[in-house]
Amino acid sequence: MSEVRNPVEPFLRMDRMPHIWCPGCGIGTTVNCFTRALIESKVDLDHVTIVSGIGCTGRVAGYVKLDSFHTTHGRAIPFATGLKLANPKLNVIVYSGDGDLSAIGGNHLIHAARRNIDLKIVCVNNLIYAMTGGQTAPTTPNDAVTSTAPYGSYEPAFNLPHLVEAAGAVYVARWTTYHVRQLARSMQEAFAKKGFSFIEVLSPCPTLYQRRNKLGDGLETMKYYKEKSKVRNGAPTSEVGLTMQGEIIVGKFVDRDRPDYRELMRHRLAETLGDRYVECEELVCS
Amino acid sequence: MHADPRGVLTGVHFLDGDHACCEGALTAGARFASGYPITPSTEVVERFAARVPTLGGIFIQMEDELAASIALQGAVWGGAKAFTVTSGPGFSLMMEHIGYAAMTETPCVFVNVQRGGPSTGLPTLPAQADMMQARWGSHGDYGIIALCPNSPQECFDLTIQAFNFAEQFRVPVMLMMDEVVGHMTEKVVIPPAEQIEIFPRRHTSKPPADYLPYETNGDMVPEMAHAGEGYKFHITGLTHDERGYPVMTVPAQDKLVRRLQQKIERAADEIALYEEEKVDDAEVVVVSYGITSRVAQRAIELARAQGRRVGKFRLITAWPFPEHRIRQLAQRTKAFVVPELNLGQMVREVERLAGGLSRVLPVSHAGGGVHRPEDILQAILEAAS
Ligand SMILES: Cc1ncc(C[n+]2csc(CCOP(=O)(O)OP(=O)(O)O)c2C)c(N)n1
Ligand code: SF4
Ligand SMILES: [Mg+2]
């Protein structure tokens, strides 16, 4: 009799299980969607590489069975930039947290979007710095209590889809961990899209965000996502900012085309250098 | 293996140190550089940006030095030979990624054209005050290699050497230039490609099923695979085991960190390059490096003209420090004189190794110019008295 196995298992490093994530955490759900997107998009897994920064979400790179890089805090995008430029055949996914990507790594986020580097960013937004114990992030909504905002946060928060659209991203979507099918489909679309793609996934951190704010557990958060999410594909990103326990606009907001960094580089250098330009496919040294 | 002739500008040139460094990188096979402009180092990447598109490579100007110092490592794991170039403030920003390269054993080169510090300091003027930072600047224990050229010719030669050491030992190698060496123009001879030895990447020959990213053999240096080749390996800056998987235990930490340091220390005699002159019967040995070695040369000649037996010891490799040789010299030398463009950095190594057997006289200089030969001469005469 053959064993019943979870279809995502072949995509995971089973020798690293159990993972470190808490019960009710949403990160594992996003990984499930990611593996489903890989299965359905039928991409050659030898050419998919995943790069993470540091954080609970940053641990994703360590659990998926792909060439995987766990880099430094905030620097997944510039690492991925070098990797992608050296080997354009790779489909490079950056998988990291809201704090990693938009605080310490915020500068890299906007510049990679501006350059339109062909990277697919999955940003797991739990509205907090989880790994370090629940401190305020640039995404923490007003009024939320964090370990470093014990009286409630009063800093304005980033609206990430708006930020990356303004910086130049060609594909921008937002889902929650309640929207597993839509999320997997967006990931698939991003894999196939050329250019800087950004998917924000709202995800519960029951241990640090929900609990400290008396918002119940992971399940309670799913109910909130279900009740308060509104699908508005194509919504102007200026209108999708988040508030504490408020409405969540989800959907695909941006899907546009402009030449990516490599194309711009090739075009400029070929035009200026003519025959002297030697195009590189892969920078493999011997 | 020999250099790829396409990158080699064989011939006799008149180049400054920065430009010679760029040619060294191209000769060594570097086809990727990520940088952020900073005086007095920018000329290296300016030349690279002009040259490399004709050689099938890429230069990218990143948004800061944090990005520059990690983008190149992404490129290395994608298969390239890569480097970055900076000076004081940028070097400070790169420290976390020197640690990342040391921990993940990413072969790469960091060029630092040293200027006066601390902070913004003297942007256009020389110093040699980042020597300890090069060795110890990132947190934790690890080994690195640092080389210090004293001429444009050596900027060329030692850049190739830096890439070769990086590949051989899988470490970040620092090329510690200074503003004067970077900006002085001299003759640079670039030999034919077939006369230039290149250390190839230690690429694994194992099939994916048998490959462990951090398994090592006798020389303590693991073999590499590149992304996209089917190995599906994991690389992390966390303490890890041979599989590259994080392991948060005392034994795993001990095993890994000791190896990272020992793979360099055990090969120190091979890596520690130096130049000597008349040290065998010297009463005083002048230890210097970089631009200071050229001023010291003048002082040594002046002292010899006065009948002093003065030896010259020039560090070509700063780290690992040539411990054995300095210990040997300390047995028979009355004193060491150590001029450097800082308030006393490498002199600490000499003091430590002299172990009280010989006197050690620093000749410090806060940077912004070079020593006056007379000041070094005076220290030599004092040491000899
Ligand atoms: C340079 C540096 N600064 C600080 C830290 C500590 N740190 C680790 S993870 C983290 C925050 C992660 O937050 P986020 O990216 O939102 O990930 P999450 O844990 O929420 O998934 C911080 C501040 C670090 N590892 N490196
Ligand atoms: S702390 Fe929060 S984000 Fe981290 S694993 Fe636990 S629930 Fe998930
Ligand atoms: Mg977070």
Give domain status of residue B167, yes or no: yes
Query: How far is Cα B261 from Cα B143, in angstroms, rounded to an integer?
Result: 4
Tell me: the pLDDT tens digits for B235-281? 999 999 999 999 999 999 999 999 999 999 999 999 999 999 999 99
Q: What is the mean pLDDT of residues B139-159?
A: 98
Neighbours of A180 (CB within 10 A): 15
* Domain boundaries defined on chain A: 9-258
Helix axes B42-51, B17-28, angle to 10 degrees: 50
Q: Tell whether the model's pLDDT for residue A285 goes beyond 90.
A: no
Quote the DSSP letter at residue A146: B
Q: What is the mean pLDDT of residues A125-134?
A: 98
State residue A1's pLDDT score.
45
Tell me: the pLDDT tens digits for B187-213? 999 999 999 999 999 999 999 999 999
Contacts 24+ apart (CB under 8 A), B134-140: B134/B91, B134/B174, B134/B176, B134/B318, B134/B319, B135/B318, B135/B319, B137/B91, B137/B92, B137/B95, B137/B98, B138/B95, B138/B96, B138/B98, B138/B99, B138/B102, B139/B99, B140/B99, B140/B103, B140/B257
CATH number of the structural domain spanning residue B124: 3.40.50.970
Give domain status of residue B148, yes or no: yes
CATH number of the structural domain spanning residue B342: 3.40.50.920
Give domain status of residue B24, yes or no: yes
Query: How far is Cα B330 from Cα B311, in angstroms, rounded to an integer?
Result: 12
Give the whole-number percent of chain B exceeding pLDDT 90. Answer: 99
Judge whether B22 and B202 are in contact, CB under 8 Å: no
Give domain status of residue B53, yes or no: yes
Element (H, E) at B35: strand B32-35
Tell me: the pLDDT tens digits for A190-211? 999 999 999 999 999 999 999 9
Question: What ligand 2 atom has the least distance to the C-alpha of A218?
Answer: 7
CB neighbour list of residue A208: distance below 8 Å, 6 or more residues apart:
A128, A130, A133, A134, A147
**Homologous superfamily in CATH for domain A9-258:** Thiamin diphosphate (ThDP)-binding fold, Pyr/PP domains (3.40.50.970)
Mean model confidence pLDDT for chain B: 98
Query: How far is Cα B201 from Cα B203, in angstroms, rounded to an integer?
Result: 5
Residue with tokens 């710095």: A129
CA distance A177 to chain B (A): 26
Q: What is the mean pLDDT of residues A254-275?
A: 97
End residue of a domain, out of B176, B195, B214: B195
Tell me: ipTM over 0.95: yes
State residue A4's pLDDT score.
67
**B74 interface with A at CB cutoff 8 Å:** yes
Q: Judge if B19 and B167 occupy the same domain.
A: yes
Q: Judge if B190 and B281 occupy the same domain.
A: no
In which band, very low, low, confident or very high, does the pLDDT at A5 lie, cut at 50, 70 and 90? Answer: confident
- The length of chain B is 385
Q: Judge if B280 and B177 occupy the same domain.
A: no
Quote the DSSP letter at residue A102: I
Q: Judge if B298 and B179 occupy the same domain.
A: no
End-to-end CA distance of chain A: 48
Judge whether B176 and B196 are in contact, CB under 8 Å: no
Region for B92 from its dihedrals, namely left if φ exceeds 0, alpha if ψ lies in -120 to 50, beta otherwise: alpha
Tell me: the pLDDT tens digits for A21-73? 999 999 999 999 999 999 999 999 999 999 999 999 999 999 999 999 999 99
> Between A49, A70, A79, which is nearest B236 by CB?
A70
Give domain status of residue B244, yes or no: no
Give domain status of residue B59, yes or no: yes
End residue of a domain, out of B195, B214, B238: B195
Give domain status of residue B211, yes or no: no
Q: What is the sign, positive or negative, of the torsion defined by CA atoms of A130, A134, A137, A140? A: positive
Residue B213 C-beta-side C-alpha neighbours within 13 Å? 26
Q: What is the mean pLDDT of residues A88-92?
A: 97
* Total of domains in chain B: 2
Which of A123, A208, A210, A220 maximizes ligand 2 atoms within 8 Å of its Cβ, making it the mutation to test the pocket?
A: A208
Question: What ligand 1 atom has the least distance to the C-alpha of A137?
Answer: 16
Q: Judge if B279 and B190 occupy the same domain.
A: no
pTM of the model: 0.98
Ligand 2 geometric centre to CA of A13 (Å): 20
State residue A3's pLDDT score.
63
End residue of a domain, out of B195, B225, B245: B195
Residues spanned by the domain of B141:
11-195
Residue with tokens 């546009």: A256
CB neighbour list of residue B11: distance below 8 Å, 6 or more residues apart:
B189, B190
State residue A281's pLDDT score.
79
Q: Is the CB of A21 under 6 A from ligand 2?
A: yes
Q: Judge if B72 and B191 occupy the same domain.
A: yes
